[in-house]
Chains A and B, each alone.
Chain A
Amino acid sequence: MSPYRFKSVLTLLVTGTLAVSSAHLAFADDDDDDHERGKDDWFESRQAPVVNATYSEECGSCHMAYQPGLLPPQAWARIMTSDALIDHYGDDASLSEELRAEISAFLAANATNVSQQMIPGDASNPGATSGGLPRITASAEFKDEHDEIPARLVTGNPEVNSFSQCNACHQKAAEGNYDERWIDIPGHGPWRD
């Protein structure tokens, strides 16, 4: 899919989402940088909050409960198989079948359908990504948003350690707010690009 088609889909979604979020837009208007970045970036900076108590409890007990919209349904499905949960990015996150089914259904229903580009790596070769499982941090969109950040501020920063620790820098990541105004990189401070 070309970047232009991706943007047009985003624009459609932004139009729908703006209507219910005018309060935030009023705030965003105060930020000159948001003006420059445009509406597509604004859309990406907001994720629907996580609203499933089981998901928040089971997944959120070890790491931030990433918003389902950060990955497409195919990626969540691969992460949520029984075998994959036993080796969950190097940890054992195995669940009872009942909980696994409930969380899988929640993720599938709330995953992003915006773009196939959100599938990290080669979608036709599911084993191609590192560790065999999809990673939010491996998506083209994620990399594009973070490519100017020096490694020393993240992987070389003991208070952050990894790009997967969204909430180490994005103060409101748990609420689904990745807006630039809420970035505070430990030991560094706000980030402006």
Chain B
Amino acid sequence: MKRQLATALPTVLFSASMLILSATPWAADPAAGAAGWLKEYPQADGSKPRSCTTCHGRDLTQPGQHANTGKVIEPLAPSVNPQRLTDAAKIEKWLRRNCRWTIGRECTADEKADFIAYIKTQ
């Protein structure tokens, strides 16, 4: 019995790690997310270049401000705003809208994972 467990344990651990890996086939990279966060995108319509910081700012523990309306945006950092990254539908909605508005296209799954990984570290 003991021997069976000893041989079975590495197999179980290996399978478990594969499960986690297969759930995230891309490697979410906080550093790439941070770089993408700061990157400025020129706008075809002649308006000012945009980046994520245009509305959210550079410090995610601080509030941001909507570029057009001036409305305060609560901090994105989960460390000061535990409600962040708790609602999958909200995450999808805002990434869809904000990627289109800022970059001019929807973000890829990799880019989105990187942004989330970065925000999680803040």
Minimum CB–CB distance for A79 against chain B, Å: 15
Main secondary structure on A side of the interface with B? loop
Contact with B along A88-110 (1 / 0, CB 8 A): 01111111100000000000000
Nearest CB to that of A85 among chain B residues?
A: B97
- Give the number of residues in A that approach B within 8 Å (Cβ atoms): 17
Q: Which of A149-193 contact B (CB under 8 A)?
A: 161, 164-165, 168
Stretch at the interface among B11-19, B30-38, B62-70, B111-119: B62-70
Most buried by B among A64, A90, A164: A90
Contact of A161 among B70, B98, B101 (CB under 8 A): B70
Nearest CB to that of B47 among chain A residues?
A: A90
Minimum CB–CB distance for B17 against chain A, Å: 35
Q: Which of B55-79 contact A (CB under 8 A)?
A: 66, 68-71
Q: Please state if A62 and B93 are interface contacts (CB–CB under 8 Å).
A: no
Residues of B within 8 A of A (CB): 47, 66, 68-71, 89, 93, 96-98, 100-101
A-B interface, 7 closest residue pairs, ranked by CB to CB distance from nearest: A63-B69, A92-B97, A92-B101, A92-B100, A62-B66, A62-B69, A63-B71
